[in-house]
Amino acid sequence: MSEPTTVPDLVWRTLVEAPDRVRLQWRDPSIHRRTGREVAHIVACWTRTLVSGGLRPGDRVGILAPSSARWLMFDLAALLAGAVTVPLFANVSRENLAWQIQDSGMGSILVEASQLDLLRSLDLPELRILILEDLVASAEASEGPTPSVDPERIQPGDFATLIYTSGSTGRPKGVLLDHRALFSQVRGAQMRYPAHPTEDSAVSCLPLSHVFERIVAYFHLANGYALAVSNDVQKVGDDLATFRPTILTAVPRLLEKMLLRVRSQVESARGVRRLLGRLALSQAAASRHFLSPALDPFLDRLVWSKVRSGLGGRLRLVVCGGAPLPASLETSFNRIGIPVYNGYGMTENGPVIAANTPEHHRAGSVGRPFPEVQVRVEADGELQVLSPSILREYWNRPEETAKVRTADGWLSTGDLGWIDADGYVYITGRKKDLCKTAGGKYVAPTPIEDALTGHSLVEHAVVCADDRKFVSAILSLDRLTLADWCHRNEFPSSLDLSAPPPGLVSELDAWVARVNEGLDEWEKVRRWILATAPLTIEGGGLTPTLKVRRQAILDKYRQELDALYEAGSRG
């Protein structure tokens, strides 16, 4: 048998080679576990269902369902059938859902029963609707031998998946990736993060419709150990305690919420316990020890070890992506004893471009380029990438494809950055996000926004500077942290953020001043306002991948910003 060259082939072999080992598990609320043999049987049954229903190689198949172990099994089944899977965010707007179904030309789509009314309301009579609950019942009722599957017929150059970008700057574009791209990413991850098939395990809690978590899930399956798929990111803490993984992928906001939960528990304690808890968290977050390092074992025994235990007690590797990782967050987890390694990527590269690893790690960077990935910096500071995992094309958008592919085949990322002498990559902002003030100075908003969100109260920040006299910002507050602030300061939890109390203003003023200390004079945030409502997907402030729609927020608060600039700078 030849070596595998595609992810479906690689994963299928691990299922059949260790048939009795638990491979997938989940909670809803009871615990479910499936062995390699059981997973292979379900996947093969669903592959047979797709093919017998008329699916041909290259046909597009949509997946509109919340992340789950069954989501992953269906995706594998469709890939083994030769389909091009089109993952759709479960929270996508009705308008974008209809557009993506039609633009992709998909002939069938997987949904949960609860989504049937939504699909039927789109009036797409030729679309074949597959109901997840029916597929599950059919596979579980199948008592015969596992249907035959031929994973080797899938070739590296075959199209594998069509993923619609989140559309933070316009209508989503479909990124077409082939099997070579997926395989290169999984193999690269195995090289950078070695794992053991019986000693390791993982929890998946991010959306599988996002290429990052999907690649990570196949990395876990290809390694042969048990993968627990969380059905609700709000309950990931319970899943970590239940399944006790050694490996986890996360976004910075998830890690922040974990620490916020710990801080809340510390603040609810009394006397010496609260004092020690505060000291332990402050020591963990400090870039340099403000207490003697000799106290670390004492703080570990009393506080840090309990944090580790609350997250399952076995985490040895947390890979973080999707957004910049604040230095204080990285420092906190590392000192607590949970190593966090951040990386960088984009859907168009399938997605990982660079990542920190246990072997090669440099704070402040996004790590060294992934295996088979080359990165270069253009004269204007833009990062460009060459790798086997670059998109084949933007679906039905040849002119858009031409814009991101250079004459010599490199991918233009649109990100600004630099590479140090040791090959570590640093991101400084987005090329198209550069703002030009009325005074002619260029301002990169992303690093300023990242710095502003370093305060636990600030969930999102949007910088305003284009054609303006100075830089200002819109701050959107984290509701849980704000409620805790209100409780501690004896304010009602339902604050009117259009007229915030002086204490809150003073705290945020002090934070903005601290951020300004690290900025050039023309970059300093002179004034700020509060968003009066949370930024949400439904409200148009966030994309389905929780990226801020900057222009939409600036448009929404344009009147308040105009008034702010008319009033002038605070200095």
Q: What is the pLDDT of residues 406-457, one digit of tens each?
A: 999 999 999 999 999 999 999 988 888 788 888 888 888 988 998 999 888 9
Tokens 């072999």: give the residue. Answer: 13
pLDDT of residue 547: 82
Q: Is the pLDDT assigned to residue 397 strictly greater than 50?
A: yes
User: What's the pLDDT band for 347 if we cut at 50, 70, 90?
Assistant: very high
Q: What is the pLDDT of residues 243-274, one digit of tens each?
A: 999 999 998 888 988 888 888 888 888 888 88
3-state helix, strand, coil in the chain (%, to 5): 40, 20, 35
pLDDT of residue 289: 66
Tokens 């270069």: give the residue. Answer: 376
**How do beta strands 340-345 and 317-320 pair?**
parallel
Q: Do 366 and 343 contact (CB within 8 A), yes or no?
A: yes
The DSSP element (H or E) to which 16 belongs, if any, is helix 7-17
What are the start-end ranges of the E strands in 278-326?
317-320
pLDDT of residue 223: 98
pLDDT of residue 438: 85
Q: Is the pLDDT assigned to residue 3 strictly greater than 90?
A: yes
The residues near 263 (Cβ < 8 Å, ≥ 6 apart) are 281, 456
CA distance 558 to 564: 10
pLDDT of residue 554: 94
Chain mean position to CA 220: 16
The residues near 120 (Cβ < 8 Å, ≥ 6 apart) are none
pLDDT of residue 570: 47
Q: What is the pLDDT of residues 293-337, one digit of tens each?
A: 888 898 899 899 999 999 999 999 999 998 888 888 899 999 999
CA distance 260 to 280: 14
Q: Do 214 and 222 contact (CB within 8 A), yes or no?
A: no
CA distance 533 to 155: 49
CA distance 5 to 57: 18
Tokens 């031409």: give the residue. Answer: 402
Tokens for 125, please give them.
Answer: 């009579």
pLDDT of residue 571: 40
pLDDT of residue 567: 84
Q: What is the pLDDT of residues 446-486, one digit of tens each?
A: 889 989 998 889 999 999 998 899 999 999 998 878 888 88
Cα-Cα-Cα-Cα dihedral sign, residues 150, 155, 158, 164 = positive
pLDDT of residue 315: 97
Q: Is the pLDDT assigned to residue 527 strictly greater than 80?
A: yes
pLDDT of residue 354: 98
pLDDT of residue 270: 87
Q: What is the pLDDT of residues 14-66, one digit of tens each?
A: 999 999 999 999 998 899 999 999 999 999 999 999 999 999 999 999 999 99
pLDDT of residue 293: 80
Tokens for 17, please give them.
Answer: 């080679």
Q: Do 109 and 127 contact (CB within 8 A), yes or no?
A: yes
pLDDT of residue 266: 86
pLDDT of residue 480: 78
Q: What is the pLDDT of residues 218-247, one digit of tens each?
A: 999 999 999 999 988 888 999 999 999 999
Q: What is the mean pLDDT of the chain?
A: 92
Q: What is the DSSP letter of 207?
A: -
Residue 158, amino acid: D
Q: Is the pLDDT assigned to residue 290 strictly greater than 70?
A: no
| pTM, 2 dp | 0.85
